[in-house]
Amino acid sequence: MPFHKLADGPITMVVGGIKAAEGKFGPQMVFTSDSGVDVFISELSGAKGLARLNLTPESAIGETLTFEQIRKDGKTFTNINKGGVVGAVSAPATRTTSTAAPSALSFEDAVELYGRCVEAALNQLAKRCELSEIPVDASAIQAAAATLFIATKGR
């Protein structure tokens, strides 16, 4: 499975799963994105970062989180923040924005798109949670489907 080193820059992702692992530097938390990219951080940094956001490993599933390393006073710290642009990496990308409003979907198209989003949420989130032995409920599937729907409806 591909992984992202935070030393190479920050990353923003929708969390698809979190598991424990033993790394070179001790206990680690492995955050897996919904697209299959792993980010390894120390267990202590992960627990503190999630607690600061009022999240648990279970409630973080489906959340969009940004992971970054910063250096201060010669020490390296790992930060976890909510939100951001999914897939963001170290180099800021030049974004162009359109002034035209996205066209509205017909009801039938919206229903079809939402159905596809629910199916994708089941295939990605639910399966990854099951593999990681993390309980998942209907509200988590609905949240993941809504996130996908909102992200794609204007395209």
Sign for the CA dihedral angle at 33, 111, 130, 50 comes to positive
> For residue 92, what pLDDT band results from cuts at 50, 70 and 90?
very low
Per-residue pLDDT reduced to its tens digit, 30-82: 999 988 899 999 999 999 999 999 999 999 999 999 999 999 899 999 999 99
Residue whose C-alpha is closest to residue 119's, from 150, 141, 140:
141
Per-residue pLDDT reduced to its tens digit, 70-91: 998 999 999 999 986 555 443 3
Q: Which pTM value belongs to this model?
A: 0.55
Residue whose C-alpha is closest to residue 56's, from 135, 131, 149, 139:
135
C-alpha 115/C-alpha 120 separation (Å) is 9
